[in-house]
Chain A
Amino acid sequence: MLRTSLFLISLLLSSVFCLENINEEFEEYLSIKSLRDGRVTSSFSFTTLLRDAIPRDPRTLAFDDDTSQHYTLFPLSLGQILRQYAITELHLTLNAGKWNYDTWGYPDEPDVGVGAELRAWMAGDSISSIDERWQGVRNALAGLFCASLGSLDEQRTTSPRLSFPPEGALPDWGLPHELRHASHASEHVCTENLTPFLKLLPCKSLSGLATLLNPHRIFDADWHGIGLHVLWRPEGVEVRLNVQLVFDPLRISAQGKQDWSFHSLFDRKVEKACPVASSTRVSVELPNSGVYRVYPEPQEIRDGKAYYSLKNNNEAWNIGTMWPTDFEYRICHAALSSPDPALVPFSVTRNLLGPTQDRGQLSIVLTNNQQDTLQLLYLETMPWIVQFYLHTIRVHSDNVPRDDLISNISYVLPVPHARPATFESVLTLPGRSTLTFTMDVAKAFLRYTEHPPDAQRGWDLPPAIFTPLNQSLNGSMSLGSRVYTPSLLVDLATPDFSMPYNVIIFTCSVMAFIFGSVFNVLTRKFIVVRVRPDPPRNQSVGTEKRLEDTDSDTLNELNTSKSGVH
């Protein structure tokens, strides 16, 4: 009886909320997919739509902001930042791990570069410069997410031309919009970032799909990342918070089975739906083959996916999939059987070769898995500590030099101690071929104070980004899904900041001192010469002559030694 009445009250309350927030809409969606190597990827997205809202026009930044900001579902702390710095579109991701495209395929959320990545589209005007607002938004988000986004400074900020088109629309204010992009590969995502992230959700982690976001499990996942995406569409401003995870059930359960369920992955179940969410949906991608069981019985199956709506249920949800047999890794001998069809059209490896600390070679190997020719947009945003020698670019296709396969090179020079390099080009991959791109690089010699506290670790370089260019029928180009390479670590010439360094310096000084004295003694001779006062001029000729004959050398030496004394 009591339960029924409580339910009725909550229903009433939620309907009241819904009535109030007719212009704010919140949706939750979770998609889960079993991967080829037995891992499970799950992608949460929490979308809030603020209807009929438009980003702030930067020309109004000169005036005080008098319109009140009143939101019910939309996160206020984020709204304030967006309004203060007049941000049109914003993407922030904090990821850990290396996304393995070859066995996992494309991720649901494309931004999977390791570490922190931030990019924003802002309209320019004369009142406050884009760079000032970019600095402001960096620092504000650093405070909001407890992440070291403040280090995404001018030395890491770039504005690539093509690789990051706006996801939403850009308002037509008659102002040009500009992109600012920065990434920091050595930033680690942790609980301290997740807690403020959950605070932006209307139900926090108390109900709905966010219940599953158990920090103990999230940060144990093989790959994990949280993201914040703000974009504008004609219907309103959309904020999408997403969490993407790759679990390894074979590791978690320590059994040979790839079974998973909410409980096994997250150690939690969804007890109740978020009352303010307009929809709470879960989709499970069904395996292509084999015997398996998805439970509970899906409400809808469409396009190889089972869909669940988690509204209107009083029971705890524990969705999962079971297999009757143990998981076996596929051993693809090239000779024995044809390998599995590739999940991605091309694979990429990037390395920094060369054992020395002053020179190196950037090497990229791209393999086209398709029959068709593929065009790739290649973006490298390199801190100035690694300097490119563009004239050493060599492109080989299947070990044949093919310099014609690289085109449209655009290069923004780095400024030492100030600005990174931006290198964009288009690479053409003939079908079923392997393309090798190499370029010599120089490693900078840093100032003594520019080394970080853990100087001997090296410097993390941001990932390179490859975007397939698809030519549509009408001849226009569209961009495919971005592919991020893993980050690199570069060793620069580093002084030894430890005690032996001082000892070596001291010893060298002593040795130099001793050598100097010994050498001096061995090669010079000191002789005392009594110099008589000058005799009168008329008698002097003969004496001087004699002096010159005998002792001119010693006199010179005496002079030298005297000058040394004073």
Chain B
Amino acid sequence: MDGQGLRLQAFLRRFFRPAGDPNLARINRRRTMFSFIARRMTVLKLSLFIAGYVWIFSVPSSQLDRGVYFDENALQPGQVNTYWNWKEVHDADHFLGELEILRDSNATSEQRSQFIMSEFLRIGLPASTQNYEFTGLPKGLNGTNVYAILRSPRVSGAEATIISASWISRVNEGDGTLNLRGVATVLALSRFVKQYSLWARDIIFIIGDGYMEGMQAWLSAYHGVTQSNLRAQRLELTSGVVWTALNIDYPGHSLSHLGIFHEGLNGRLPNQDLLNSFQHISRRTGVPVVLYDHKDELDLGWLPDNIRNHPEIKTYAAQARNLWRHVRYQASGRGSGVHGLFHQYRIDAFTIFAVPAAGPHGFHSLGRIIESTLRTTNNLLERLHASFFFYLLTSYDRFVKIGNYLPSVILISVAMMFGGLQVWVDAAWMERRHDKHEEGSTGMVWIRRRRPVLEAVSIVLGTHILGAACFFVLSHKWYQSLPFTSPLLWVAAYILPLAVPRFFPQNITDNVAPLSLVLKAFNLCLSSTVISIISVLNFSLAACLAVALGIPLSVASSSSNGAMGMVRYTMYIVLGFGWLLLDETRKQMIWDWDILGVWLLPFLCVVYYPLSLQAALVCII
């Protein structure tokens, strides 16, 4: 036994500490390892790319997600007997009738707000209105918000919860469908909650005018944030710090499911515990929950029967659909509704969307669920802080943890970084036939050459400055008022960079590396860094960037054929700046930036377009 142990020890020592100079052995070992890696760099890069893409596309599978659970024990969802009953339903119906009269008489937003305010006052709540106006837009944008504050008994008023509804529903991202039932629910709730002394904080009821803009004006005024193009009236009534908010959206006649919309502005998400509590309560109350408004199954008619009915495939399809919706909301930075505006003030909020249907549920179930959710958030002693801020919901009760989705993008970004560094190293060396005059050598040798760093850096900086200039032009107010501005800007963004090769004439010598190689190295490293950083701020955007830039940027190369180079150049410009020509998208992005401060437009102009422009320049230099 002892002998064996000693022998093992000796073997291990020999293995880890071979005889001779240990430093020498270490250096040799390293050299072998790195030459091994360096020789297989292409394979490694490729496998990282493949692993990354496969991972991204397997995120919707049921292997990577898990069931939701509660992290904050104070919430205690669904542990109370609710008091909301038919009397309150009657109230809601009454308010709805009044609101329908207002709708049919084409009341102005001023009249509407006066009516709603007087209803609040009649209930016995201090209420007020707020006028707002967004200036500098081609079309005037103004309105009047109404809000009321329940000064909850026995509390200091240093904390508050918000229940809100916007006048226009989120159906088709605010196409003009009215949220009458949502407003009626808020009014009935305000009368209902006043009867109880169990509230631990003030409750603020807000009816925001318009879809997003009203709430933006109200929240800015509440938090004392000034926006240069917004003139909002000071709020006469205020309360304390807001931790949670529920936004109610009930556009239809009845509801069959309750949908969760949770994405906030610029990729922010509310704490998942809030959503979990809601879905738990709703299902306990007997109303099925869906993510978004996806109540019907996805139509997979084009697939063969045996594949279509495979449970794994079905789950994958449904979850992929949810995730795709999520990616669209999150990557666009616009969020999925009014609740998205709250997140920037550290308020956890989501929209309860009553999916329109012929039945069977209505005010009765909705009221009970909202009451119970409100009382769950009422239990909070602290702001929601425990873990769940990084998650992907694949379905209302399943989610992907950060550890299971983040590596996909990071792998692609690592592959790009490796690629960039490889190009950087390659640029420094050149294989040359050996001079025959020297003695004792044959074949090829590697010689070192200078890398034009300064030129590459100035090109990189120049592209970003050009991007910033594009952004300045796009966000300027006369941009939208003049015709043909977008094609002109596009052409400018296409033509101007073509002058770059003139400034950096290519002198092909042996001791200077080609500029395109150094530029490509910089481009890849920069893109990789951008993607890695964005991945924790806004995963969906990072995933889109990884897919859009990962392979294309890696394959960019200069072409000796001028026409071929121009074709590639054009493709990269279209990839980077093509969105400018999509009229609706561009208008929406400009509006989002002007009114809500969504970062997508500046990001696309200042970061994304320059990155692809750099790749385009690699092709023509």
Q: How far is the CA of A498 from the CA of B383 in the complex (A)?
A: 13
The answer to whether B27 has its CB under 8 Å from any CB of chain A is: yes
Q: How far is the CA of A38 from the CA of B123 in the complex (A)?
A: 12
Chain A CB within 10 A, most for which of B223, B344, B345: B223
The answer to whether A88 has its CB under 8 Å from any CB of chain B is: no
Please report which residues of chain A, range 512-566, place their CB below 8 angstroms from some CB of chain B when the two chains form the complex.
521-522, 526, 528, 561-562, 565
Q: Which of A115, A186, A251 contacts B194 (CB 8 A)?
A: A251
Please report which residues of chain A, range 469-526, place their CB below 8 angstroms from some CB of chain B when the two chains form the complex.
486-489, 491, 496, 498-500, 521-522, 526
A residues near B4, Cβ cutoff 8 Å: none
The answer to whether A185 has its CB under 8 Å from any CB of chain B is: yes
Instruction: Report whether A528 and B154 are in contact in the complex, using a CB–CB cutoff of 8 Å.
Output: no
Residue of A at shortest CB range from B124? Answer: A329
> What is the CB-to-nearest-CB distance from A111 to chain B, in angstroms, rounded to a whole number?
15
Instruction: Report whether B385 and A496 are in contact in the complex, using a CB–CB cutoff of 8 Å.
Output: yes
B residues near A353, Cβ cutoff 8 Å: 223-224
Instruction: Report whether A254 and B122 are in contact in the complex, using a CB–CB cutoff of 8 Å.
Output: no
Number of interface residues of A (CB under 8 A): 56
The answer to whether A354 has its CB under 8 Å from any CB of chain B is: yes
Interface hit among A8-16, A26-34, A455-463: A455-463
Whether A458 contacts B124 in the complex (CB less than 8 A), given A489-B158, A500-B387, A565-B26, comes out as no
> What is the CB-to-nearest-CB distance from B121 to chain A, in angstroms, rounded to a whole number?
4
A-contact bits for B190-221, CB 8 A (1 contact / 0 none) = 00001111000000000000000000000000
Q: Which of A96, A331, A457, A562 contacts B382 (CB 8 A)?
A: A457
The answer to whether B241 has its CB under 8 Å from any CB of chain A is: yes
Q: How far is the CA of A224 from the CA of B154 in the complex (A)?
A: 7
Q: Which of B114, B383, B425 contacts A522 (CB 8 A)?
A: B425
Chain B CB within 10 A, most for which of A219, A331, A333: A331
Please report which residues of chain A, range 20-57, place their CB below 8 angstroms from some CB of chain B when the two chains form the complex.
37-38
The answer to whether B157 has its CB under 8 Å from any CB of chain A is: yes
Task: Give the interface SS of chain A, mostly helix, strand, loop or mixed.
Answer: loop
Instruction: Report whether B156 and A115 are in contact in the complex, using a CB–CB cutoff of 8 Å.
Output: yes
Please report which residues of chain A, range 427-462, place their CB below 8 angstroms from some CB of chain B when the two chains form the complex.
454-458, 460
The answer to whether A153 has its CB under 8 Å from any CB of chain B is: no
Q: Which of A222, A254, A488, A521 contacts B158 (CB 8 A)?
A: A488
Q: Which of B195, B197, B223 contacts A355 (CB 8 A)?
A: B223
Instruction: Report whether A458 and B154 are in contact in the complex, using a CB–CB cutoff of 8 Å.
Output: no
Instruction: Report whether B34 and A521 are in contact in the complex, using a CB–CB cutoff of 8 Å.
Output: yes
Whether A460 contacts B156 in the complex (CB less than 8 A), given A488-B240, A521-B34, comes out as yes
Residue of B at shortest CB range from A489? Answer: B158
Q: How far is the CA of A29 from the CA of B488 in the complex (A)?
A: 84
Instruction: Report whether A222 and B387 are in contact in the complex, using a CB–CB cutoff of 8 Å.
Output: no
Chain B CB within 10 A, most for which of A37, A361, A486: A486
The answer to whether A286 has its CB under 8 Å from any CB of chain B is: no
Please report which residues of chain A, range 374-425, place their CB below 8 angstroms from some CB of chain B when the two chains form the complex.
none
Whether A355 contacts B154 in the complex (CB less than 8 A), given A251-B195, A329-B124, A489-B240, comes out as no
A residues near B153, Cβ cutoff 8 Å: 97, 220-223, 248, 251
A residues near B123, Cβ cutoff 8 Å: 329
The answer to whether A98 has its CB under 8 Å from any CB of chain B is: yes
Please report which residues of chain B, range 333-385, place their CB below 8 angstroms from some CB of chain A when the two chains form the complex.
344-346, 381-383, 385
> What is the CB-to-nearest-CB distance from A282 to chain B, in angstroms, rounded to a whole number?
24
Whether A96 contacts B154 in the complex (CB less than 8 A), given A38-B124, A353-B224, A561-B27, comes out as yes
Instruction: Report whether B383 and A458 are in contact in the complex, using a CB–CB cutoff of 8 Å.
Output: yes
Instruction: Report whether A458 and B224 are in contact in the complex, using a CB–CB cutoff of 8 Å.
Output: no
Instruction: Report whether B241 and A455 are in contact in the complex, using a CB–CB cutoff of 8 Å.
Output: no
A residues with CB within 8 A of B: 37-38, 96-98, 100, 114-115, 185-186, 219-224, 248, 250-251, 254, 328-333, 349, 351, 353-355, 361, 363, 365, 454-458, 460, 486-489, 491, 496, 498-500, 521-522, 526, 528, 561-562, 565
A-B contacts, 30 of them at CB < 8 A, read A97-B155, A100-B151, A115-B156, A222-B197, A224-B154, A250-B124, A251-B153, A251-B194, A328-B122, A329-B123, A331-B122, A349-B237, A354-B223, A355-B345, A355-B346, A361-B224, A363-B224, A455-B382, A456-B382, A457-B381, A486-B156, A486-B157, A486-B158, A487-B156, A487-B157, A491-B346, A498-B385, A521-B30, A521-B34, A561-B23
The 9 closest A-B pairs by CB, nearest first: A353-B224, A222-B153, A456-B382, A489-B158, A114-B156, A456-B385, A98-B157, A457-B382, A331-B121
With contacts A219-B154, A561-B27 known, what are 15 further pairs, Cβ within 8 A? A96-B156, A97-B156, A98-B156, A220-B197, A223-B154, A363-B224, A365-B234, A454-B381, A457-B382, A486-B157, A486-B158, A489-B158, A489-B159, A522-B425, A526-B27
